[in-house]
Amino acid sequence: MIIIDTESCTGCEKCVKVCPVDALYMEEGVAKLKEELCISCSACVTACPVDAIEPELKAQRADFSEYSGVWVFAEQHEGELKATGPQLLGKGRELADELGEKLCAVLLGHDITDLADELAAYGAEKVYVVDDKALQEYTTEAYTTALTTLISRYKPSVFIYGATHLGRDLAPSVAGHIGLGLTADCTGLSIKEIEGQKVLQQTRPAFGGNVMADIVCPNTRPQMATVRPHVMEPMEPESSKNYEIIEEKVKIDPDSITTEILEVLEADERGVLSVEEADRIVSGGRGVGNCQEDFELLRELAEELNAAVGCSRPIVEEDIMPKCHQVGQSGKTVSPDLYIVCGVSGAVQHRVGIRGAKTIIAINKNSDAPIFDMADFGVVGDLKKILPLLIEKIREKKEN
Ligand SMILES: Cc1cc2nc3c(=O)[nH]c(=O)nc-3n(C[C@H](O)[C@H](O)[C@H](O)COP(=O)(O)OP(=O)(O)OC[C@H]3O[C@@H](n4cnc5c(N)ncnc54)[C@H](O)[C@@H]3O)c2cc1C
């Protein structure tokens, strides 16, 4: 929003001309604002030759003393917690300790209250639960209503979400409804002191991963971020009786829900496991080939192992696989139990994405390929000869 000093306005209309959303108009020789259209782009502030327009820094003057608590959105599906909740609680513990605030989890769904114990085991001191039939299946509208209501009732200072498919939809919707900033897809979170105020510093790759940007939102609360799955470590779970459950009722207007769920398809029913959630990944790079057919061997191996298929960036750039399969700095961060990596050289941008993998088996014809520095097991040779043998051995083992 902006503030117009009508006394100083000379009626030159420059602001009206530059406004991209027609939020300004002239009345009795001075500029006037249609508040509902203003997007706070400040084009008019720059264009005004007499400094009669200023950005309204309402939020800067706000008192945040009522805001407290580091909240983690604990995503669940059909009564099972997704990995991001515990991972974010691990980081949330550090943030809450530095801020001297409570670590809280937020659980939405139906018949899910039992999951609060699990969240407490991963460090939550309070668990806010909204158990409602309208939240059984995810819809943007119902989940947004539940979270915006909780935020206005309890005023957390920080609220973090996993950058999962759901989190990437929900967090911007909540931010938009309350008028907050949101940093998407963070890879790091820390606390920084700015002008005597402890704020959340949110780090994320920018410009295609060429620089890391540190972002702060000192003027709004809660400070909100989505965080890439698997970049934060959960704490070792410890059973805890020492936590508080706050069960809340939220009014969800069924007419506000504009989506109808017709059918829920599980990822593996479509034959496409997500690399972020898979326990096993078979990944391929330029050494596998340069067309869809070349990747058939890799897919066959993945199918035998019930594994997801991952790839290096050139494979996405060459349109062989969609971006959601890309592993690495500008792709997904993964932490499977088993990562079989074929025909990938092991550039640092690929390796940063697989640091969380428990066992790495690399197949590469070049014994000096950097991927071997990181692999637990290495096979030097032509993958076109090795993969069929491996598939055959696995099939044999399954039959016996
Ligand atoms: C800002 C930025 C972000 C990036 N982000 C990512 C990212 O997220 N993920 C990513 O992967 N890359 C990323 N990259 C690209 C990265 O730097 C490398 O270029 C890329 O990982 C190389 O892909 P590759 O290993 O498939 O190909 P290459 O480097 O070409 O390696 C191919 C390998 O296959 C082996 N090979 C060839 N034929 C065979 C065979 N028949 N059998 C066995 N082995 C064989 C070769 O010995 C070689 O080691 C990024 C780069 C930049 C600049």
Average pLDDT rounded to a whole number, residues 236-264: 88
Q: What DSSP designation does 233 have? A: P
Contact 128, 106 (CB under 8 A): yes
CATH classification of 70-256 is 1.10.10.10, yes or no? no
The C-alpha atoms of residue 208 and residue 361 are separated, in whole angstroms, by 28
Contact 335, 342 (CB under 8 A): no
Q: Which atom of ligand 1 is nearest to the CA of 343?
A: 34
Q: Which atom of ligand 1 is nearest to the CA of 383?
A: 42
Intrachain domains 2-56 and 267-399 with the same fold: no
Q: What DSSP designation does 268 have? A: G
> How many angstroms does the Cα of residue 356 sit away from the middle of ligand 1?
19
Phi, psi of 308 (to 5 degrees): -85, 160
Domain boundaries, the chain: 2-56, 70-256, 267-399
Give the fold, CATH level 3, of 2-56: Alpha-Beta Plaits (3.30.70)
Pocket (CB within 6 angstroms of ligand 1):
208-210, 285-287, 312-314, 326-331, 343-345, 347, 349-350, 353, 363-366, 369, 382-384
Does residue 304 register a pLDDT over 90? yes
pLDDT digit string, tens, across residues 120-150:
999 999 999 999 999 999 999 999 999 999 9
Contact 290, 240 (CB under 8 A): no
Residues in the chain: 400
> How many angstroms does the Cα of residue 301 sit away from the middle of ligand 1?
20
CA angle 139, 141, 143 (to 5 degrees): 65
Lowest-confidence segment of 231-235, 356-360, 391-395 by average pLDDT: 231-235
Residue 59 banded pLDDT, cuts 50, 70, 90 = very low
The C-alpha atoms of residue 359 and residue 304 are separated, in whole angstroms, by 18
Residue of the nearest CA to atom 31 in ligand 1? 345
Give the fold, CATH level 3, of 267-399: Rossmann fold (3.40.50)
> How many angstroms does the Cα of residue 313 sit away from the middle of ligand 1?
7
Does residue 267 register a pLDDT over 60? no
Does residue 268 register a pLDDT over 60? no
> Which residue among 281, 325, 350, 354 is best mutated to probe the pocket of ligand 1, counting the most ligand atoms within 8 A of its Cβ?
350
> How many angstroms does the Cα of residue 371 sit away from the middle of ligand 1?
10
The C-alpha atoms of residue 96 and residue 70 are separated, in whole angstroms, by 6
Q: Which atom of ligand 1 is nearest to the CA of 371?
A: 49
Residue of the nearest CA to atom 30 in ligand 1? 286
Average pLDDT rounded to a whole number, residues 176-186: 91
The C-alpha atoms of residue 52 and residue 300 are separated, in whole angstroms, by 67
For CA atoms 220, 221, 227, 232, the dihedral sign is positive
